[in-house]
């Protein structure tokens, strides 16, 4: 059977040009040769008719496309469902793998810089130095505020036990307001 198919394909080498003929991709000379061949070869003309029928069926199927009406809030529902189902997809090892990939990409980037690697590393070191300096400042600020707060609260608690008067209540109110403003300052500092 395979030998018969191979013999037919060898005899009729124009079968491969039929699709190009339908699409209009042949030159005028090639079209004329194929049309002359189609007048003689029944198998190629049958193949041409089959491909034309297939194209007509496809055209009909695509033209009679049915309209599907979507609900008004379809997009919102799909987005809400997608967001709610994504939270459970993360695995515990995902962060470590992401860190490994970032480190590998960093090393590849360093290799890509070639002779400029030393300048890039110096820039990176300066950036890291500045970053740790700011981090150290914030850490010291938080530590000093905590120690100062502990000292002030200790002295205030001693005053509360000894004698409680109106000026002390004002002092406590002032202290609490200053703590609120300090916490807002630290929050804004962390955001920037």
Average pLDDT over the chain, rounded to an integer: 78
Give the residue numbers spanning the domain of 47.
2-63
pLDDT computed for residue 187 by the predictor:
82
Do residues 185 and 137 share a domain? yes
- Give the number of domains in the chain: 2
Do residues 156 and 91 share a domain? yes
Please answer whether residues 159 and 167 qualify as being in contact, where contact means their C-beta atoms are separated by less than 8 angstroms.
no
pLDDT computed for residue 140 by the predictor:
92
Mean pLDDT of 23-39: 86
pLDDT computed for residue 133 by the predictor:
93
Do residues 89 and 20 share a domain? no
pLDDT tens-place string over residues 41-99: 888 888 888 888 888 887 777 776 666 677 778 888 887 777 666 655 566 677 788 88
Do residues 40 and 122 share a domain? no
pLDDT computed for residue 97 by the predictor:
86
- Confidence category of residue 143, pLDDT binned at 50, 70, 90: very high
Do residues 108 and 187 share a domain? yes
**Does residue 69 sit within a domain?**
no
Do residues 142 and 105 share a domain? yes
Do residues 54 and 12 share a domain? yes
Do residues 24 and 116 share a domain? no
Mean pLDDT of 5-22: 68
């Amino acid at each position: 059977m395979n030998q018969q198919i191979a013999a037919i394909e060898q005899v009729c080498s124009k079968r491969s040009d039929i699709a190009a003929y339908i699409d209009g991709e042949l030159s005028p000379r090639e079209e004329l040769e194929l049309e002359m061949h189609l007048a003689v070869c029944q198998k190629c003309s049958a193949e041409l008719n089959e491909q034309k029928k297939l194209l007509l069926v496809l055209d009909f199927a695509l033209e009679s496309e049915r309209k599907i009406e979507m609900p008004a809030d379809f997009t919102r529902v799909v987005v809400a469902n997608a967001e709610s189902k994504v939270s459970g997809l993360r695995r515990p090892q995902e962060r470590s793998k992401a860190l490994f990939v970032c480190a590998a990409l960093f090393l590849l980037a360093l290799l890509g810089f070639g002779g400029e690697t030393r300048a890039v590393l110096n820039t990176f070191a300066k950036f890291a130095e500045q970053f740790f300096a700011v981090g150290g400042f914030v850490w010291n600020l938080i530590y000093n505020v905590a120690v100062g707060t502990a000292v002030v609260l200790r002295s205030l608690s001693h005053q509360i036990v000894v004698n409680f008067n109106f000026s002390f209540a004002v002092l406590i109110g002032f202290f609490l307001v200053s703590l609120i403003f300090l916490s807002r300052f630290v929050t804004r500092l962390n955001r920037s």
